[in-house]
Amino acid sequence: MPASEIFFWPAMVLAAVTSAAMGFAGLPMPLAVLLFLIWAGTVWFLTRPPENQLAMEGASENASATAIAESMSAMIEHSGTPLLLTKGSRIGVANRAARHVLGDHILGQDPRVALRHPQAIALMDSPTHGEAIVTGLQRRRDIWRISRHVIDSDYAVIELLNRTSEADIGRAHTDFVANASHELRTPLASIIGYVETLREAPGELDMPTATKFLDTIQREARRLQNLVNDLMSLSRIEAEKHEQPARPVDYSALVERAAGDAAGVDRKARLVFEIDKGLKVAGDTQQLEQLVRNMVDNALKYGAKDGPVTVKLDKGPHGNARLIVSDTGEGIAPEHLPHLTRRFYRTDPGRSRASGGTGLGLAIVKHIVERHRGRLEIESTLGKGTDVIARIPMLDDRKAVAENTQPPSLSQT
């Protein structure tokens, strides 16, 4: 109780008793009543609270709430997770990430209106902690987990977590397993079928037929082997994608050597080299060789039959080592270009399988380029041919000299 109230009532009782006693002592009653009123008014005036005390108390409470809100806003403003602080049925604080997702207009808005989803609305109406999964919060296929943490009867914190990437990864893994199973099943079914035929009629097949069957089995077995090897390569590259290679590599010599290996004796005459000497990159030698082999092998397989394939390496306009492998084939339709680096994507599945392709060559190329912090581009003109361009950052000559002269570490010895 405030001090003013402690003294007010005893003083009023004393004034009443004194005035009554003076009236009984002979003082005219009107004067006694007037004396009481004067005394009571004086007591009230001296003991009353200041006129603006209640307003000050209210302002103090508002200032305290404002200070808390400002402190909370400063604490969460730069968080990458969208966060909201609600007071009652209004959003009092929204950090930058939340405003980016929901818009700047959400401040002061009812969170149920801002989130616009039945499950989110039910969560906002709940008196306790809870969470909900909603879709389409920012874009149509987005998936968000909304958590609400109640602080007290007035305040609550709302957290928004974007689960779209996790869902996309899950779908990608499911698609990959399904595609890989299909690709493995096809050669296995062919091998099993021909082996069963040979076993069931060992003496009834003439030698040319048996040889044809065995050739098919061998071809499908090699296709199966190539597919397994490519799957293992892709898995290794993805496991190392966050580790940028740092070992100096003579890229010019590597490109010429790997391109020749990809062509082999039978197709090497089709290669046309335009290679600038002395270009160095920081890279993984084995993966860079695989990069060149896949690019050259694709061009030889899918370019014009017996047509030339140009392998060009030069210094790009932005200081990178630019490898361009060009064929003179039929070209690729524009609608296919964005999908060429997807796993198992083929513009002509029949031709790809007939030539021994696994559908993983350009996917491997893309992942190798990304691990080396480079960029892959594919350009094609129908009727003229296709250019596959891999840009890898060049190694500074001074850095290469320093790294070559450093003593080997324990891990290298």
Nearest-angstrom CA–CA distance, 161 and 79: 12
Q: Is the predicted pLDDT of residue 66 greater than 70, yes or no?
A: no
pLDDT band for 171, please (50, 70, 90 cuts).
confident
Q: Residue 340 carries which DSSP code?
A: T
CB neighbourhood size of 406 (10 A): 9
State the first-to-last Cα distance of the chain, in angstroms, to the nearest integer. Answer: 82
Q: Is the predicted pLDDT of residue 328 greater than 50, yes or no?
A: yes
Q: Would you state the pLDDT for residue 85?
A: 87
Nearest-angstrom CA–CA distance, 217 and 199: 13
Q: Which range is least confidently modeled, 5-9, 27-31, 59-63, 70-74?
A: 59-63
Nearest-angstrom CA–CA distance, 235 and 116: 41
Q: Alpha carbon 94 to chain centroid distance?
A: 22
Nearest-angstrom CA–CA distance, 200 and 196: 6
Phi then psi for residue 92, to 5 deg, are: -90, -35
Answering whether pTM is above 0.85, one says no
Nearest-angstrom CA–CA distance, 367 and 86: 45
Radius of gyration of the chain from its Cα atoms, rounded to whole angstroms: 41
Contacts of 36 (CB under 8 A, 6+ apart): 15, 16, 18, 19
Residues in the chain: 413
Among residues of the chain, what percentage have pLDDT more than 90? 23
Beta strand 320-326 with 309-315 is: antiparallel
For 95-120, what is the mean pLDDT?
Answer: 86
pLDDT band for 320, please (50, 70, 90 cuts).
very high
Q: Would you state the pLDDT for residue 182?
A: 77
| 253-303 confidence digits (pLDDT tens) | 999 999 999 998 889 999 999 999 999 999 999 999 999 999 999 999 888
Phi then psi for residue 159, to 5 deg, are: -115, 135
| 176-192 confidence digits (pLDDT tens) | 777 778 778 888 888 99
CB 38 within 8 A of CB 18: no
Q: Which range is least confidently modeled, 61-75, 300-314, 324-338?
A: 61-75
Average pLDDT value over all residues in the chain:
80
Q: Is the predicted pLDDT of residue 60 greater than 60, yes or no?
A: no
Which position has the token pair 């339709």? 333
Q: Is the predicted pLDDT of residue 401 greater than 50, yes or no?
A: no
Query: Which range, 185-194, 219-228, 282-291, 353-362, has the best average confidence (pLDDT)?
Result: 282-291
Nearest-angstrom CA–CA distance, 294 and 208: 34
